[in-house]
Amino acid sequence: MVSQRCKMLVEYELQKLGLHSLVVDLGVIEILEDISMDNREILRANLLKSGLELLEDKKSILIEQIKGVIIEMIHYSEDQPKVNYSDYISEKLNYDYTYLSNIFSEVKGITIQQFIIVNRIERVKELLLYDELNLTEISYKLNYSSVAHLSNQFKKITGLSPSFYKLLKQKRNNNLENF
């Protein structure tokens, strides 16, 4: 749960149950009152209707927090952190990175680094579709060491070069205009 919309939805569901939130952030909810089992089940069902899940397993919560930090960092932050991703994640969550990495790999079946790469490429695709920045600017914005590094990673994940991906978007738009 990272987006403002998700946070607002959770707060709304808590209010409907007469609960007061202290913190609603990165997959964590802290409420003032104790929550009854009935209210917990109502909250779980209402969140599920909106595609959100109430997690109680500590590993699952930690995984969601890791994912939240990464998604927030890549998709919602104007500037990428100037420190290593591992240091950034470890600092944000107050856990040793090796511990976080081991749990993440064990539960998700991929490394944190692979998850970061996939999310960075998704962000690159988004920025390419907006057509406001060129590849050099995107490379700089997302802290790639070079345009070549970005292009290689993009091709490895998508099977397409960034320029071909952009060309496909233009062709699709032209086809839609011709209807």
pLDDT per position as a tens digit, 132-147: 899 999 999 998 999 9
Using CA atoms in the order 73, 76, 79, 83, what is the torsion angle rounded to 10 degrees?
A: 0
Closest by CA to 86, choosing from 99, 138, 76, is 99
The residue to which tokens 């205009």 are assigned: 177
pLDDT per position as a tens digit, 136-177: 999 999 989 999 999 999 999 999 999 999 888 777 766 666
H or E element at residue 31: strand 28-31
Q: Are 127 and 138 in contact (CB under 8 A)?
A: yes
Q: Show the tokens assigned to 132.
A: 């406001």
pTM here is 0.70
pLDDT per position as a tens digit, 60-116: 889 989 999 999 889 887 776 667 899 999 999 999 999 999 999 998 999 999 999
